[in-house]
Amino acid sequence: MISIGIDVGSVASKGVAFNGTSIIAKEIVPTGWSPKLAGETLVKILMEKGKFTREEMSVIVGTGYGRVSLPFINHKVTEITCHGKGAHYFDSGIRTVIDIGGQDSKVIKLDEKGRVTDFIMNDKCAAGTGRFLQVMANVLELDISELSTVAQEGESCQINSMCTVFAESEVISLLAEGATKSQVSAGLLESVVNKTYSLISKMGVEDKVYFSGGVAQSPYIRNLLSRKLNKEIVYSIDGQYNGAIGAALIGWEQDR
Amino acid sequence: MRPTIMEKVEGLRGINSVKIKEASEAGKKVVGMYCVFSPQEIALAADAIAVTLCGTKQEPIAEAEKHLPRNLCPLIKSSYGFAITDTCPYFYFSDVLLAETTCDGKKKMYELMGKIKPMHVMNLPQTAVDEDSLESWKKEMVKFKSFLEEKFDVEITEEKLIDAIKLMNRERDVMKRLHKLNAHKPAPLTGMDMMMAQWLKGFNVDKEAGIQLIEELIKETEELMDKGEFPFTEETPRILLTGVPIGAGSEKVLKLIEEAGGSVVVLENCSGYKGLDTMVDEAKNPIEALAEKYLSTPCSCMSNNNARLDLIKRLAEEYKVDGVVDLTWQACHTYNIESFTVRNFVKDELGLPFIQIETDYSDSDVGQIKVRIEAFLETIETKACCCGGTC
Ligand code: SF4
Ligand code: SF4
């Protein structure tokens, strides 16, 4: 029997297949205009990659903001619970999960069994999320992944606006005043870290700290955050799949 | 099954807006009020009608923001907006208004509102745990009494006060009994219906008829309970809702909790149970008894407000609660600051899951709040499972 977890985010949709012992297939596709289509595509790809049939698939759990638009799932679970579960599976010593995705950021506290004991989410604007960096990368005519490589530490110029709309004009005028792309990039990444830090401060952190979501891909942000928190940060290249993994595990357990 | 009487209860607001017009035209005096600190008894003893004024809807806020700062509690903006746009029939027919110096926002807004209609402001002490406070609050009761006597050219005798106290105690008693039905597991009434019934009592022009209607609602609900018909199951997570007052138009969070699969069994807020907990002592001197009762209201305007924690604890036990939601309005300093104390108390002393939701009357953040509430209920459900969360 196979359990499927589908995490439909605002930018990317992630899917994994779990057979009770390990993750046998994973895939990521852009969400695009139709969360439903993205979800269906994922299931198809997972079947090919994991070499299993539709009949072998016992349960599909959906999570992420697009979970409500998936007609073919058996359960919907919020991304909070799924991220907690996924992080616990990755390393059972994890007590704090910091997840920064395309349009929201969250901090989740876990107990020793991976149950969520507390959580906090950013308020309704895009400040400090992947969306913020995406818009800014466009202004700089860079790919979002290039922000980290271009950024040079110690040379950042401060970005004061947290709001995406105002920050955009701030960046344009900084460039006009002669700031380099590397200085601006560093400033932008710092601003995301500061915003995240203030969210974390509302709740406190306990070791070990796990950093997941698309934004965690940036080594620059990871280092900065780690120094600011004065804590080591655990990270996985599969961090983007964290929510989908959690969903698949929850499906597996519920189905038993 | 929903009690059929609920439809009648919901009709109260419409019926009462006609009744108040008729009463006013027949020469009855009307006193409009905003808060649970307002001693309705004194107005009733002046042979006037005491009504709660509108302040729970988004619509008049835009108009209010022409005079008031945007960054202000929506309850204050809505109340003021209804007043200046003349869209609350109860405000329109009020001969005088009663206000109290509760929070800073209300206090300053009342200065503006007082220009529209005659208003009496009671000077509410900032603490309940001080001898002098009670003395000064008693004097405030007397001042309000004199104000009405002069305005309406009536004499408020001790006898009339005692009668009014008895009537209001009966109303509190019936509302309290209704609320207590939800201590049953599963709750027989949805939080939405309970909120409606509690909120609408404020509009009752005819108190006796209102009491009678709630008696019928209790009876019907008990019959449904006997038949085993409940809107929830034994497993539904039971939520205590505390924080700011709510009514029709500002029920967003309550609604979202129940849509996400929770059952709001206690409304600890002042639009729900808070004002029903203690009765006015009928054996005491009426002014003294009134002062004592109203001063004991555990509202966040009071410093300290430990009585609120005691009440939450008592209700959490009595109603077998699984989690606590603290609703606070944006820009409400008193409730937002107090939320930190409530959070620590609920988590550490009661060992219950807790979440604070800060919002306003608009719908712009519904999506986000929904996720937070669903996730909150999921944390309760995993705890509640027989395996203790290992499954
Ligand atoms: S919260 Fe306090 S001040 Fe506000 S209406 Fe209720 S009792 Fe009055
Ligand atoms: S909710 Fe807070 S700010 Fe608003 S009226 Fe009540 S105490 Fe004042």
Task: Report pLDDT digits (tens) over B52-80.
Answer: 999 999 999 999 999 999 999 999 999 99
Whole-angstrom CA distances from B227 to B214, B224, B265 are 20, 5, 20
The pLDDT assigned to B111 comes to 97
- Indicate which residue's Cα is closest to atom 3 of ligand 1: B102
pLDDT over threshold 90, residue B391: no
A127: region left, alpha or beta (phi > 0 left; psi from -120 to 50 alpha): beta
The residues pairing with B355 across neighbouring beta strands, listed in sequence order, are B325
Closest by CA to A168, choosing from A149, A147, A184, A151, is: A184
The mean per-residue pLDDT over the stretch A227-240 comes to 89
Helix B286-295, helix B131-152: angle, nearest 10:
120
- What's the pLDDT band for B382 if we cut at 50, 70, 90? low
pLDDT of residue B346: 97
Distance B366 CA to ligand 2 centre (A): 21
Closest C-alpha residue for ligand 1 atom 4: B35
Q: What is the pLDDT of residue B386?
A: 41
Choose, out of B324, B339, B371, B391, the residue to mutate when testing the contact with A (most A CBs < 10 Å): B371
> Looking at the domain assignment, is residue A177 inside a domain?
no
Which of A8, A61, A115, A123 is the best residue to mutate to test the B interface, defined by the most B CB atoms within 10 Å of its own CB?
Answer: A115
Q: Are A148 and A189 in contact (CB under 8 A)?
A: yes
Mutation site for A-interface testing, chosen from B369, B382, B386 by largest number of A Cβ within 10 Å: B382
- Write a three-state SS string for B12-71: HHHHHHHHHHHHHHCCCCEEEECCCCCCHHHHHHCCCEEEECCCCCCCCHHHHCCCCCCC
Looking at chain B, which residue has its C-alpha nearest residue A113? B390
**Alpha-carbon distances, residue B162 vs A14, B280, B282, B289, B335 (angstroms):** 69, 10, 7, 10, 34
Burial of B193 (0-12, 13-18, 19+ CB in 10 A): buried
Mutating to test ligand 1, I would choose from B34, B37, B273 the residue with most ligand atoms within 8 A of its C-beta, which is B37
Give me the sheet containing B30-33, strands edge to edge. B49-52, B30-33, B96-100, B119-122
Site of tokens 């604890």: B313
Encoding tokens for residue B61? 């806020």
Task: For ligand 2, say whether the CB of B254 is within 6 Å of any of its atoms.
Answer: no
> Can you say whether the dihedral through the CA atoms of A174, A177, A182, A183 is positive or negative?
negative
pLDDT the model gives residue A124: 59
CB neighbour list of residue A143: distance below 8 Å, 6 or more residues apart? A137
Contacts with B367 from chain A: Cβ below 8 Å:
65
Local confidence band at B385 (pLDDT 50, 70, 90 cut-offs): very low
Give, for ligand 2, the residue of B80, B100, B103 to mutate: max count of ligand atoms closer than 8 Å to Cβ: B103
Give domain status of residue A156, yes or no.
no
Kindly report the nearest CA distance between residue B246 and chain A, in angstroms.
22
- Burial level of A45, CB count in 10 A (0-12/13-18/19+)? middle
Under the banding of pLDDT at 50, 70 and 90, the label for residue B383 is: low
Distance of CA B383 to the CA centre of its chain: 31
Which candidate from B353, B367, B371 shows the least CB-CB separation from A78?
B371
- Give the number of whichever ligand sits closest to the CA of residue B107: 2
* pLDDT range class, residue A142, cuts 50, 70, 90: confident
Q: Cα(B301) to centroid of ligand 1, in Å?
A: 8
Question: Is the per-residue pLDDT at B384 higher than 50?
Answer: no
**B368 pLDDT above the threshold of 90:** no
Residue of B nearest to A111 (CA): B389
Residue span of the structural domain in which A10 resides:
2-124+195-255
Q: Which residues line ligand 1 (CB under 6 A)?
A: B 35-37, 102-103, 244-245, 270, 297, 299, 301
**Residue A161 covered by a domain:** no
In order of their start, the domains of chain B are: 8-152 (3.40.50.11890)
- Across the interface, whether the CB atoms of B374 and A253 are under 8 A apart is answered no
Task: Judge whether A186 lies within some domain.
Answer: no
Query: Rounded distance, CA A140 to CA A138, Å?
Result: 5
Inspect the interface and report whether the beta carbons of B379 and A121 lie closer than 8 Å.
no
CATH code, domain carrying A6? 3.30.420.40
Q: What is the 3-state composition of chain A as percent helix, strand, coil, each rounded to the nearest 5? A: 45, 20, 35
Q: Is the pLDDT of residue B389 over 50?
A: no
Interchain proximity B375–A65, CB inside 8 Å: no
User: Nearest chain A Cα to B365, which residue?
Assistant: A124
Amino acid symbol at B44: L
The token pair that represents A131 in the structure block: 């969306």
- Total domain count for chain A? 1
Contact assessment for residue B272 and residue B254, using Cβ atoms and an 8 Å cutoff: no
Dist. CA A6–CA A3, nearest whole Å: 10
Low-confidence winner among A80-89, A205-214, A244-253 (lowest mean pLDDT): A205-214
Strand partners, A9: none
The token pair at A57 is: 């698939």
Would A95 be classed as within a structural domain? Answer: yes
Could you check whether the bond before residue A208 is cis, i.e. omega within 30 degrees of 0? yes
Instruction: Specify whether the CB–CB gap between B274 and B297 falls below 8 A.
Output: yes
- To the nearest whole number, what is the mean pLDDT of chain A? 88
Task: Render pLDDT for A158-169 as a digit per residue (tens, 0 to 9).
Answer: 888 777 777 888
pLDDT in tens, B114-162: 999 999 999 999 999 988 999 999 999 999 999 999 999 999 999 999 9
Q: Read off the DSSP letter of residue A31.
A: -
Per-residue pLDDT tens over the stretch A120-134: 887 656 667 878 888
* Predicted model pTM: 0.88
pLDDT per residue as tens digits for the range B170-203 = 999 999 999 999 999 999 999 999 999 999 988 9
Residue A90 pLDDT: 92
Which pLDDT score, from 0 to 100, does residue A255 have?
73
**A236 contacts A159 by C-beta, under 8 angstroms:** no
Lowest mean pLDDT among B6-20, B151-165, B232-246, B330-344: B6-20
Separation in Å, CA B155 to CA B27, B147, B167: 17, 11, 19
pLDDT at B341 over 60: yes
Residues of B in contact with A104 (CB under 8 A): 368
Beta bridge partners of A15: A6, A27
Q: What is the pLDDT of residues B221-269, one digit of tens each?
A: 999 999 999 999 999 999 999 999 999 999 999 999 999 999 999 999 9
Which pLDDT value is given to residue A185?
87
Flag whether A75 is in a domain.
yes
**Cβ A110 vs Cβ A212: under 8 Å:** no
Look at residue A153 and tell me whether its pLDDT is greater than 80. Answer: no
CB B263 within 8 A of CB B321: no
Chain A residues interacting with chain B (CB cutoff of 8 angstroms): 65, 77-81, 104, 113, 115-117, 119, 121, 123-124, 253-254, 256
Largest CA distance in chain A: 62
- The whole-angstrom distance between B367's CA and the closest CA on chain A is 9
Q: What is the mean pLDDT of residues A33-61?
A: 93
Strands (E), B210-349: 238-243, 263-267, 323-329
Q: What is the pLDDT of residue B329?
A: 97
Residue A183 lies in a domain: no
Length of chain A as a residue count: 256
Structural domain contains residue A175: no
